[in-house]
Amino acid sequence: EAKSAGKGKIRFFDPEMQEAVAERLRLEEDIIRGMEAREFCVYFQPQVDHDKGIIGAEALVRWRHPQRGVLAPGAFIRVADEAGLMNRIDSIVLQRACEQIASWSRLPAFADFTVSINVSAAQLYQPGFIDDVLEVIKLTGADPARIKLELTESMLLNDMPKAIERMRILKCHGIRFAIDDFGTGYSSLHYLQQLPLDQLKIDQSFVRVLPEDENSLSIIQAITAMARSLKLEVIAEGVENQAQRDLLHANGCSLYQGYLFSRPEPAEVIERMMGAEERA
């Protein structure tokens, strides 16, 4: 019997799978090490208004890895999430982003500048979420009116009543909300109407295939119409060329984020872009 049980396990320990499991564990341990060594930091990608220029930025986590260079979330976010580490990464990002908001609010070039921060499902539904956010705001002195939290449709659908309740409370403090990657999930006017939202963020998969793809253009037109009737701002992400920008503008979207304007960059680079390098 022992032998057959052993046999049954053989499949489980095939070398490839074993290697994948070991790799994952190494990454998990490395993430923990990296957090303790303060290697996680925040880059900012400008958000551009068609007429006014840069009006804000999205905070995006980066891992300055001592051997592997600057890593984007694609290299670690899945493992971090599955290992239950996203909460810790998110609080690092929230803290850093709020420190930056407070510091930028002292510079005239950054008047009205807002910062969008990604929220993970783990974070939104965590019991201390609201207190944590309010505490960071208090400690950093960040103006809540400059903060926009990005949620995704699928996150909201996990537990809509709870999500709405939490959004409402934070909204009372002046924080704004955007739906990220909009158009990729379940979206009806009915449920959008119930959410205390400020912005829809058109997913880059629709933008990337412009100007050629007519289906994507139709979806973008539907989203901008929806945004207009709900009185929400609409921003497009992944804008890489002029043709895309022009088409978006012609179809009712005048806020953009994408490589056409800038890649995500460290705060100092954003300051140079804003012409605010002369700091007090």
Q: Select the residue interacting with Mg ion from 180, 192, 253, 267 (CB under 5 A).
A: 180
For 34-65, b/e burial (b = at least 16 CB within 10 A) is: bbeeebbebbbbbbbeeeeebebbbbbbbbeb
φ, ψ dihedrals at 28, nearest 5°: -60, -50
- Under rule CB under 6 A, residue 93 binds ligand C2E: yes
Least distance (Å) from ligand C2E to the CB of residue 86? 6
Site for Mg ion in 29-68 (CB under 5 A): none
Q: Select the residue interacting with ligand C2E from 47, 100, 114, 118 (CB under 6 A).
A: 118
**CA dist., res. 230 & res. 18, Å (int):** 51
Tell which residue, 156, 136, 150, has the closest CA to residue 181.
150
- Under rule CB under 6 A, residue 180 binds ligand C2E: yes
Span interacting with ligand C2E, options 135-143, 161-169, 188-196, 252-260, rule CB under 6 A: 252-260
**CA dist., res. 160 & res. 178, Å (int):** 15
All residues at 6 or more sequence positions from 142 whose CB lies less than 8 Å from its CB, including other chains: 97, 98, 99, 101, 102, 105, 136
- Under rule CB under 6 A, residue 259 binds ligand C2E: yes
- Under rule CB under 6 A, residue 48 binds ligand C2E: no
Least distance (Å) from ligand C2E to the CB of residue 44? 10
**CA dist., res. 78 & res. 74, Å (int):** 7
Question: Do residues 255 and 233 lie in contact, with contact meaning Cβ atoms separated by under 8 Å?
Answer: yes
Least distance (Å) from ligand C2E to the CB of residue 175? 16
Question: Do residues 256 and 236 lie in contact, with contact meaning Cβ atoms separated by under 8 Å?
Answer: yes
Least distance (Å) from ligand C2E to the CB of residue 94? 8
Q: Select the residue interacting with ligand C2E from 6, 66, 74, 161 (CB under 6 A).
A: 74
Q: Select the residue interacting with Mg ion from 90, 150, 153, 271 (CB under 5 A).
A: 150
Binding site for ligand C2E (CB under 6 A): 45, 60-61, 72-74, 77, 86, 90, 93, 118, 120, 150, 180-181, 204, 237-240, 257-259, 264
